[in-house]
Amino acid sequence: MNTAAPAPEETSRIRMALRAENVPPSATAALDAQAKTLIALGVDVINLTSGEPAFPTVEPAAQAATQAIAEGFTRYTPAAGIPELRAAVAVHLNRHGTTYEPSAVVVTAGAKQALHYAFTALLNPGDEVMIPAPYWVSYPHLAALAGGTAVPVHPSPDAGLKVTPDQLRRAVTTRTRVLLLNSPANPSGVVYSRAELAALAEVAVDHDLTIISDEICDHWVFGTAAFTSVAALSEEIAARTLTIGAVSKTYAMTGWRIGWVAGPTPVARAITALQSHTASAPSSIAQKAALGALTADLTTELEHRRQALDARRLTTIKALTDTPGLEVGGIPEGAFFLLADVSATYGRTHASRTITSAADFAELLLAEANVAVVPGADFAAPHHVRISYTVPPDRLEEALTRIADFVGGLAPTAERVLG
């Protein structure tokens, strides 16, 4: 155990730009780090904050990377990525009905960097990005870093955490430039149907907006839900859409940092120029690894993984539904997260601490039951916590039991006792 005194707060003479001072650290990463610190200290914490499936990287990726190193494939690559990988990504995307040429694809260091380039290429200062809530925590910061302003669009309370075209139309202003779509969605796991996406995309067509469609979880769709690629909806929509994706989640390759943006050639060219002056290109070795993953026949293995996650999803939904005081938000049919509404626990107490927010709930749950979840405030879901159900089944069952026991053991409010 590390018993060293904490380092004193470092001071600096360097005056930072507002854009750096205004970016808070990610809440997801903070909770994940807190849980990992406790685990390192020997505490039996079950970490349900993770943003990645708990599977190993697919074997052909690792093999291709080893081979790339052995063959000395360790130099700069073309700024848009190696041609074979751009072609493989185009084939990979087009299985959903799009018609991308390899020249439409720019390979990036993960989907996150692809989003950063997309916002940088599209936004002038003050331009607005409509983001259906609840949303992935990084979108507003990525938009702000590029000079834009995020405009959250909130669903109605009874709408299953999905926004409607009318809600988007009401949020459009003269400054709106981009509509961000993300289905399957992080953090809620909701999957918009083809018809729903078509209706949302129509708003972009009517108001001449660009759509950025983050489709990073395209593989993780369950039950009766089906994945729809927005750019496959029509030629008109494809002409105004940038599709974002990655090998990160599907192939368990989050650490390899390979993603992409695909869209009309002039935008792909501009993004390539941005990348050439910033990152040069993603890692040559990781590009070979991604090529290995995309060109191997992994259908059976990926289907096994999908079914394994689906079983964990159903276990989680059942356990939370059976826990009085918790309510699953919307219908989580994709990704590997869901949101649990914890507002019914507000006012209840544990060891003289009263829960007044989802942040209190998450903090107490970690302190008292050793289960880490992420409070939803930064996802624009202030009364929910995000639960990532990717952990192995025995740990998941144990975590869900601990959550149920924790909620069941909360004392009622003083008023309720009196009243």
By CB under 6 A, the residues from 10 to 69 that bind ligand PLP are 51
Instruction: Give least dist CB 92 to ligand PLP, A.
Output: 14
Residue 139, CA distances (Å) to 77, 122, 192, 311 in order: 28, 14, 18, 30
Please, are residues 363 and 374 in contact by the beta-carbon 8 Å criterion?
no
The one segment of 62-70, 105-113, 190-198, 318-326 that binds ligand PLP by CB under 6 A: 105-113
- CA 373 remoteness from chain centre: 15
CB nearer ligand PLP, residue 146 or residue 172: 146
Position with the least CB separation from ligand PLP = 110
Tell me the C-alpha distance between 329 and 340, whole Å.
6
Tell me the closest approach of the beta carbon of residue 351 to ligand PLP, in angstroms: 34
Residue (108 or 210) nearer to ligand PLP, CB:
108
2/209 Cα distance (integer angstroms)? 53
3-state secondary structure of 323: coil
User: If binding is defined by CB under 6 A, does position 189 make contact with ligand PLP?
Assistant: no
Task: Give me 2's structure tokens.
Answer: 């590390």
Size of the site for ligand PLP (CB under 6 A): 13
Using the minimum distance from each CB to ligand PLP, give the nearer residue, 47 or 186.
Answer: 186
- For residue 338, the SS3 value is strand
The answer to the question of residue 214 lying near ligand PLP (CB under 6 A) is yes
CA dihedral 228→233→236→241, nearest 10 degrees, is: 0
Q: Residue 358 has which token pair?
A: 């989802």
Told to check if 110 binds ligand PLP by CB under 6 A, we report yes
Residue pointed to by tokens 């599907």? 250
Q: Where in 120-139 is the site for ligand PLP (CB under 6 A)?
A: 136
For the bound state, the minimum distance from the C-beta of residue 139 to ligand PLP, rounded and expressed in Å, comes to 8
| Radius of gyration, CA atoms only, the chain | 22
Q: Which CB sits closer to ligand PLP, 119 or 136? A: 136
Structure tokens at 131: 């983001």
One-letter amino acid of 309: L
**Binding characters for ligand PLP, 227-246, by CB under 6 A (x = yes):** -------------------x
Give whichever of 112 and 350 is closer to ligand PLP, judged by the CB atom.
Answer: 112
Minimum Å gap between C-beta 133 and ligand PLP is 13
Selected from 47, 182, 210, 275, the binder of ligand PLP by CB under 6 A is: 182
Question: Does 112 contact ligand PLP by CB under 6 A?
Answer: yes
**Is 216 one of the binding residues for ligand PLP (CB under 6 A)?**
yes
CB of 359 to ligand PLP, least distance (A): 20
What's the gap between Cα 184 and its chain centre?
9
Exposed / middle / buried, residue 320 (Cβ in 10 Å: 0-12, 13-18, 19+): buried
**Residues found near ligand PLP in the complex (CB under 6 A):** 51, 110-112, 136, 182, 186, 214, 216, 246, 248, 254, 259
